[in-house]
């Protein structure tokens, strides 16, 4: 695998949509028309180019930029150099994938099959490409961060987020995938070998850093977790001052497991009663918190009556431990109350990892691979008949996409040569 750090520094490739191959080959012979086409494309997207930090060029190429033409895999490619900072941008036409022999149509089919839950091996059979080639393709897209891609789509950094770790396995070891979701998009999908607060903090910090770099004043206002100690601790460390809530549905599912040695109808009826309690607490617009405290006390008494002192005590202690997280959900109407969308994202990612032997390669680049999968999750449209059919997660959340073609969007949005910094004032 290529050295990631070197690649990030050097990658000033941009993918440009020339609509069809003929247009591209015609433009190749006309320098002025070529550069103008590229500039018009940049203008339409509202993207800037990633010049060197010292560049006063204002993020634009001019017709007077230096250029050269090179042959890559039998096709002529343009490189354009900024006359001010000497940064060189490689212009890839839409029908070429960076560093890859594969045509985008072949890659598109393979990626769609992976997204649908087919194994790398089966994708390879369908597309006549090696499983390793598909693995590397996903990794290549994953070198661009989720924050970079999502903000390029005009999505604001999320104020309220859901955070949780997916448990997975790598060979014989347990591994964890710390995840941040907001609505229908994944903002972070990391990889850790331990379930400690320190390990999670390190992973979630990648999101926090990328977000703060994009917007120094970025603050998370609320985080919903399932109440797992390491998750809660890492969120408190990274987002001091954020409201920390615990998922209400998770609480509901946990209750029956807290009750030992009772008949199942009793367990069932207590669950229904607890459901009603949480539901009513959410319905009450005012005094929700006060009402909740009182209702929880009554509920614990009720458990003692129906299921004995030991169970009653156990529930009381559990409430004591978790109620601040439930209050946090009820106090702020904007707080998400349930982590359903996050579970859906986890299930979707899990279906893919389950099929992928190469993911369990200890020397593999898990971070890039997972980020690549998350890009697919965010950018591939839902099936026609699904809720939000035909739209991808980014669109459902109100983001803009460069084109109506998801594969092309993936190519353009993960290009290394674009920069999504705010427009400098001298423009």
Contacts with Zn ion by CB under 5 A lie at 51, 55, 57, 82, 84-85
The smaller minimum CB distance to Zn ion, of residues 51 and 184, is found at 51
In the complex, the smallest distance separating the C-beta of residue 237 from Zn ion, rounded to whole angstroms, is: 38
The smaller minimum CB distance to Zn ion, of residues 84 and 205, is found at 84
Pick from 387, 415, 413: which is nearest to 399 by CA?
Answer: 413
Task: Return phi, psi of residue 72, to 5°.
Answer: -125, 115
| Helical spans, DSSP H, in 129-287 | 131-141, 146-152, 197-214, 229-238, 248-258, 264-283
The smaller minimum CB distance to Zn ion, of residues 47 and 406, is found at 47
In the complex, the smallest distance separating the C-beta of residue 389 from Zn ion, rounded to whole angstroms, is: 43
In the complex, the smallest distance separating the C-beta of residue 62 from Zn ion, rounded to whole angstroms, is: 10
In the complex, the smallest distance separating the C-beta of residue 41 from Zn ion, rounded to whole angstroms, is: 18
Q: Can you tell me the distance from the alpha carbon of 420 to that of 88, in angstroms, rounded to the nearest whole number?
A: 18
In the complex, the smallest distance separating the C-beta of residue 53 from Zn ion, rounded to whole angstroms, is: 10
Question: How far is C-alpha 94 from the geometric centre of its chain's CA atoms?
Answer: 24
The smaller minimum CB distance to Zn ion, of residues 90 and 230, is found at 90
The smaller minimum CB distance to Zn ion, of residues 64 and 384, is found at 64
State the DSSP code for 421. P
Pick from 52, 53, 78: which is nearest to 65 by CA?
Answer: 78
Q: Can you tell me the distance from the alpha carbon of 131 to that of 416, in angstroms, rounded to the nearest whole number?
A: 25
Pick from 174, 218, 226, 199: which is nearest to 343 by CA?
Answer: 226
Q: Can you tell me the distance from the alpha carbon of 47 to that of 59, in angstroms, rounded to the nearest whole number?
A: 9
In the complex, the smallest distance separating the C-beta of residue 87 from Zn ion, rounded to whole angstroms, is: 5
Q: Can you tell me the distance from the alpha carbon of 370 to that of 349, in angstroms, rounded to the nearest whole number?
A: 8
Sheet holding 88-93, edge to edge: 13-16, 88-93, 75-81, 66-72
The smaller minimum CB distance to Zn ion, of residues 57 and 364, is found at 57
Q: Token pair 């850093």 is at which residue?
A: 209
The smaller minimum CB distance to Zn ion, of residues 84 and 212, is found at 84
In the complex, the smallest distance separating the C-beta of residue 85 from Zn ion, rounded to whole angstroms, is: 3
């Amino acid at each position: 695998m290529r050295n990631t750090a070197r690649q990030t520094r050097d990658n000033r490739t941009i993918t440009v949509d020339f609509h069809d191959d003929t247009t591209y080959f015609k433009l190749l012979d006309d320098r002025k028309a070529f550069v103008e086409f590229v500039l018009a494309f940049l203008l339409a997207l509202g993207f800037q180019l990633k010049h060197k930090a010292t560049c006063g060029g204002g993020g634009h190429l001019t017709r007077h930029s230096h250029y050269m033409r090179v042959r890559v895999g039998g096709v002529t490619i343009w490189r354009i150099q900024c006359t001010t900072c000497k940064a060189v941008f490689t212009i890839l036409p839409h029908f070429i994938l960076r560093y890859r022999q594969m045509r985008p149509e072949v890659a598109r089919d393979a990626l769609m099959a992976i997204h649908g839950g087919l194994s790398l091996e089966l994708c390879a059979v369908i597309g006549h490409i090696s499983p390793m080639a598909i693995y590397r393709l996903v990794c290549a897209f994953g070198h661009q961060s989720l924050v970079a891609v999502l903000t390029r789509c005009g999505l604001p950094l999320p104020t309220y987020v859901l955070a949780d770790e997916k448990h997975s396995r790598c060979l014989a070891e347990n591994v964890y995938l710390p995840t941040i979701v907001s609505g229908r998009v994944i903002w972070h999908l990391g990889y850790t070998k331990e379930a400690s607060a320190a390990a999670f903090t390190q992973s979630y910090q990648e999101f926090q850093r990328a977000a703060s770099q994009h917007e120094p004043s970025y603050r998370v206002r609320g985080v919903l977790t399932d109440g797992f100690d390491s998750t809660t601790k890492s969120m408190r460390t990274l987002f001091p001052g954020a409201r920390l809530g615990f998922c209400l549905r998770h609480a509901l599912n946990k209750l029956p497991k807290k009750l030992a040695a009772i008949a199942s109808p009793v367990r069932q009826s207590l669950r229904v009663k607890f459901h009603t309690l949480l539901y009513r607490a959410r319905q009450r617009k005012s005094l929700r918190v006060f009402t909740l405290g009182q209702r929880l006390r009554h509920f614990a008494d009720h458990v003692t009556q129906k299921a004995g002192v030991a169970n009653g005590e156990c529930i009381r202690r559990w409430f004591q431990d978790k109620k601040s997280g439930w209050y946090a959900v009820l106090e702020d109407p904007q707080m998400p109350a349930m982590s359903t969308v996050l579970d859906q994202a986890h299930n979707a990612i899990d279906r893919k990892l389950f099929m992928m032997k190469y993911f369990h390669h200890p020397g593999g680049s898990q971070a890039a691979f997972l980020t690549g999968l998350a890009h697919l999750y965010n950018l591939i449209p839902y099936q026609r008949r699904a809720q939000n059919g035909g739209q991808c997660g980014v669109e459902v959340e109100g983001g803009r996409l460069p084109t109506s073609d998801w594969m092309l969007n993936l190519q353009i949005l993960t290009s290394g040569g674009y920069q999504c910094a705010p427009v400098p004032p001298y423009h």
